[in-house]
């Protein structure tokens, strides 16, 4: 094989490896029914919601989180609520927030407890009934709920 | 009375989006933990938080709930919440926390829009 031919074919091989899309995180079977129950029949799609949390958590007793949703927050088009669920704590509900167009920005920050390394999902409900989700996986080194 | 810490800017320009931070002193006992004697510690949680905006420009305004939250055991002790408000007119922000064992705390903060 001529060197020029070999180089051009190998370049094509590298490109095909890079182009392959990154597989989306598969949502846990525990979370999906909770999300659907909160959606109450609305269409659930992934996107628009940004779940901000450290991927590696040192202390599960107090984990800072921030949820932001892409929305103009006008009376005609706004986020009415955000729900947060976890996969492996003794209780799957974390919190449900109610928002209004007065907020101007769809953002909530709080601190939560995490018992184990697990998945978390944030669901935002829009005023038209549609729901948007973001699922994240976190690693917890010191768990909550277990120690004294 | 528990201690509450609320951070709201004293003044804001009209149309500006301000950040509101509220923290209240509370153990948020989950009901899943045991004491050193092995007894289950009884659940003691804050269940409900709300923030109403009372417009001082409107007479007899009872306020609009601009943000509310239902909290569960997975919220850390001394619950901290941060959210936003688009400052349109001067008024009062009325915060309320309610929970188990008759826990109830109310706070008010004035906001001046210039």
Residue A146 pLDDT exceeds 60 = no
Interface test with A, best of B84, B87, B93 (most A CBs within 10 A): B84
pLDDT top residue among B102 and A15? B102
Domains of chain A: 24-142 (2.60.40.2470)
Residue B63 pLDDT exceeds 60 = yes
Pair of tokens at residue A67 = 């949820």
Residue A20 pLDDT exceeds 50 = no
Domains of chain B: 4-113 (2.60.40.10)
List CB contacts (< 8 A) between A95 and chain B: 69-72, 74-75
Task: Report ipTM (2 d.p.).
Answer: 0.91
Residue A11 pLDDT exceeds 70 = no
Pair of tokens at residue A54 = 């450290």
Q: Which residue of B has its CA nearest to A72?
A: B86
CA distances from A59 to A62, A67, A145 (A): 6, 20, 11
Classify A13 as helix, strand or coil.
Answer: helix
At A109-128, the pLDDT tens digits run 999 999 989 999 999 999 99
Assess contact for A35 and A44: CB atoms under 8 A.
yes
Q: Which residue of A has its CA nearest to B23?
A: A110
């Amino acid at each position: 094989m001529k060197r020029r031919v070999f180089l051009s074919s190998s370049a094509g091989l590298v490109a095909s490896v890079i182009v392959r899309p990154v597989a989306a995180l598969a949502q846990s079977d525990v979370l999906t029914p909770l999300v659907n129950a909160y959606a109450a029949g609305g269409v659930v799609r992934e996107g628009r919601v940004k779940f901000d949390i450290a991927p590696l958590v040192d202390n599960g007793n107090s984990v800072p989180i921030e949820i932001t949703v892409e929305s103009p927050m006008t009376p005609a088009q706004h986020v009415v609520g955000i729900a947060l669920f976890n996969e492996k704590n003794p209780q799957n509900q974390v919190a449900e927030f109610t928002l209004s167009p007065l907020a101007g920005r769809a953002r909530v920050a709080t601190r939560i407890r995490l018992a184990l390394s697990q998945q978390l999902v944030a669901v935002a409900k829009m005023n038209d009934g549609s729901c948007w989700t973001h699922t994240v996986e976190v690693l917890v080194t010191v768990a909550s709920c277990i120690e004294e | 009375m528990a201690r509450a810490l609320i951070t709201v800017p004293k003044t804001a320009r009209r149309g500006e989006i301000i950040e509101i931070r509220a923290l209240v002193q509370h153990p948020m006992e989950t009901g899943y933990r045991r004491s050193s004697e092995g007894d289950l510690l009884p659940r003691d949680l804050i269940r409900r938080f709300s923030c109403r905006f009372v417009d001082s420009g409107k007479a007899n305004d009872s306020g609009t709930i601009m943000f509310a939250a239902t909290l569960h055991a997975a919220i850390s002790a001394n619950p901290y919440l941060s959210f936003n408000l688009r400052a349109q007119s001067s008024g009062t922000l009325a915060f309320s926390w309610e929970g188990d064992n008759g826990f109830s705390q109310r706070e008010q903060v004035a906001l001046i829009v210039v």
